[in-house]
Amino acid sequence: MKSLKISKYLILSVLVVGFTIACDLVEQPQDVASYGDVFNDEAGLRLYTNSLYNILPSANNITQGDAMSDYGARRDVPLFLREGAYGPGTTGGWSWGQLRNVNYFLDNNTNTDIPASVRNHHNGIARFFRAMFYFEKVQRYGDVPWIDTALDIDDPKLFEGRDSREMVMDNVLADLNFAIDNLNPGVNQSRTLITRDVALALKSRIALFEGTFRKYHADGLAQGLGNTANDWLNEAVSASQELIQSGRYSVYTGSGENSYQQLFKTDSPNSAEDILVVEHDIDLDVLHSANWWYTSSTFGVRLSFIRPFINTYLNIDGTPFTNRPGYETMVFTEEVKDRDLRLQQTIRTPGYTRIDGGQIVQTPPAFSYVYTGYHPHKWTLDDVFFDGWTNNTNSVVIFRYAEILLNYAEAKAELGTLTNTDWQQTIGALRSRAGITGGTDALPTTADPYLQSTYFPDISDPVILEVRRERGIELALEGHRFSDILRWKRGELMEMDWTGIHLPGINQYYDLNEDETPDVYFYDVAPPSDQRTSGVIYIDVTGSDFRVTGGTSGELLWRQDIPKDWEEKKYLYPIPESDIQTNPNLGQNPGW
C-alpha cells in the first residue's frame, strides 16, 4: 500500500488543524502549510485528502476488534460488562479533531482554477470520511451534534446541544451519495485508495446497520423511526446490488479448500475479493501485531472462542452440528471433524501446523494462551517468527466482497424479498467455498432450534436465522460482532457463560491435535512435580477462574467468578462527564 503508507509520512506537511467540541478544544487551530500550498492545485488537494486516511481503522483496530464480543472469552470481563464499573467518569471517545480536518477542507476547496470534477472527487473523499466518522459516533452515542463547517474556538455552536439521530444519519446518507456520485469509478489495483466502490461498500454497511437498528429498537432508542427502517434496508440492497452486478469482485476460490484462510494470511490484497485493505511493508516498518496478540500469554486479552459459537458451524453436508446425537459431550478432536472448512481455518484443530526454525510442526491449541480450547489463528501467520512483537506483514481487510454479499442477503431477508437466486449468489456461494455440500441452492424452510434457543429467541424466520449464522462465521474476528449485537438488540448475549471444550473427566491428559502427545492436563488434585510430563500445561479446575460444569466432567468454564451484566442503557455509551460539565446542553444518554 505504498500510496497510503507514504501519505502517513506526509501528514506533517499538510494543514493540520485540531477541533473538538467543548472541553476537547484547548487551543486555536494552527496552519503548518500555507493555504496556497494546499488549495491551489490538484497535488495539494491530494496531499490533504491523503492525510484523512488516518480516519480509517488500523490493522490492529480490526484484528483486535472483537475483543469485546459474545463469542469471545478473554483474560478478564471488560469493565463495560461489569455491574457499576463503567460510567460517564470512565468513558471516552468524545473527540472531534478529525471532523474539523474534514470540514476545513470542504470549506476551502473552492478554487475554480481547478476543474470541478477534480475538486468534487476530493470532496467525495472528504465526505466519505465524514460519513465514516459520524457513523462511528452515532453507533456509540446515538444523537450527536451535526457540524459541517470548520468552527472557530469562539463559535457559539460549540456549546449547543445534540442533533437528532434522524437528522445526522440523513446527512451521513447525503455524504455517501455525494461520494458515490463524484469519486473516481472502478477498482484501485492496490486496494488502498478510496474509490466509488469503497463508498458503495461503506453505504452498504451503514444502511444495513441503520435499517436493522431502527427495526429492532423501534420501541426504544429508535422510537418514531421504525417506519423508516425499510428505507434504509432498501438503501443497503441498492448499494450492495450495484457492487454485485458490477462483476468486479467475486468470492475467492483460487486456493481450493484453503481459499478462506488465504484471505487473511497473505501480504498482498486479494484481487478477487478485497475492496479496501490496510497493507504493510517491512522495509517501511509499517507492521501490525496480530501474531503477538493471538499467541502471547502476556500481551492482549487472550481472546478465545466459546463453545456455543463453535456449535453454530454446520456439518460439511449443510446440516446443523447440533442435530448430531450426543454433540453436547463430544470431545474436541471429534466435534471439529466433518465441519464447515472455515472452522479449521479459524481455530487450531488437528492437522494445524506452524513453522518453527524452518521445521513444520503440528501445533495444538495452546492453553498458555487460550482459556476454552478454541484457539484463533485466522489473522496469524504460520511462522512462529512473527509471534514475539509487532512483526506482521499480512494485509488486513477493511471491506471485502463477502461482507457485501452478507449485507445484501440480510437486508433482503429483513425485507422479506430474498429469493432462491439471491441465496445461491450470496450465502450459498460463501458456504460452497467452505466445502459445504448441502443447502446452498435454496432458501431454508426450517428454523434451527439451537440458533433460536441460544441466540435469537425472538426470530422465527429461518432465512434471517441462517443469514445471521453465516455472518457470524464468515466475518468472525473482523470487528463486526459487537456492532451486530447492538443493531439486533441482543445485548443479553454478552452475558453468556464462557464455556470451552467438553471434558469427559479430570485428572487425565488430553491430546488436542491427535499427534499422540499429551497437551494439557486438568486436575482437582495437583500431580507431583516429578510426575509431570514436559511440554504439558497443567490446569487446576478448582480455583476461582477455571471450573468444569459438572465438577469432574462437563464443559470447561472460565471466569464464572466475575458476573457479566447487560442493561438496556448499554446499547449506547455515556457522554463523558467532563464534556457535559463543559457543555451541559449535550445532556446524557438514557440510564447513564
Supply the DSSP string of 29-78, one letter for each residue: ---SS-HHHHHSSHHHHHHHHHHGGGGSPPHHHHHTTTSSSTTEE-SS--
- DSSP code of residue 347: B
Q: Which helix (H) or strand (E) holds 523?
A: strand 520-523
* Residue-level pLDDT at 186: 76
Task: Tell me if 307 sits within 8 A of 325, measured CB to CB.
Answer: no
Instruction: Give how far the C-alpha of residue 466 lies from the chain's centroid of Cα atoms, to the nearest Å.
Output: 19
Where would I find the H helices in 221-296?
229-246, 259-265, 290-295
* Residue-level pLDDT at 165: 98
What is the Cα–Cα distance from 350 to 334, expressed in whole angstroms? Answer: 10
What is the Cα–Cα distance from 391 to 373, expressed in whole angstroms? Answer: 25
Using CA atoms, how far residue 284 sits from 165, 237, 249, in Å, is: 41, 40, 29
What is the Cα–Cα distance from 412 to 404, expressed in whole angstroms? Answer: 12
**Helix 196-216 vs helix 165-182: angle between axes, to the nearest 10 degrees?**
160
Mean pLDDT by 10 residues, the chain (592 residues): 32 33 34 74 97 97 98 98 96 94 98 98 98 98 98 92 98 98 91 98 99 98 98 99 98 98 97 97 94 97 98 98 98 98 98 97 98 98 96 98 99 98 98 98 98 98 98 98 98 98 98 98 96 97 97 97 97 97 97 98
Third-level CATH fold of 2-69+81-248: 1.25.40
Supply angle C-alpha 96, 102, 107, rounded to 5: 120
In degrees and rounded to multiples of 5, residue 514 shows phi and psi of 60, 40
Third-level CATH fold of 399-495: 1.25.40
**Domain 2-69+81-248 identical in fold to domain 399-495:** yes
Task: Tell me if 244 sits within 8 A of 404, measured CB to CB.
Answer: yes
* Residue-level pLDDT at 37: 81
Locus of grid cell 495437583: 526
pTM for this model (two decimals): 0.94
What residues does each domain of the chain span?
2-69+81-248, 274-398, 399-495
Give the cell for residue 164. 437528532
Dihedral sign, Cα of residue 148, residue 151, residue 154, residue 158: positive
* Residue-level pLDDT at 10: 29
Nearest to 4 by CA among 125, 103, 121: 125
In degrees and rounded to multiples of 5, residue 5 shows phi and psi of -65, -45
Task: Tell me if 372 sits within 8 A of 220, measured CB to CB.
Answer: no
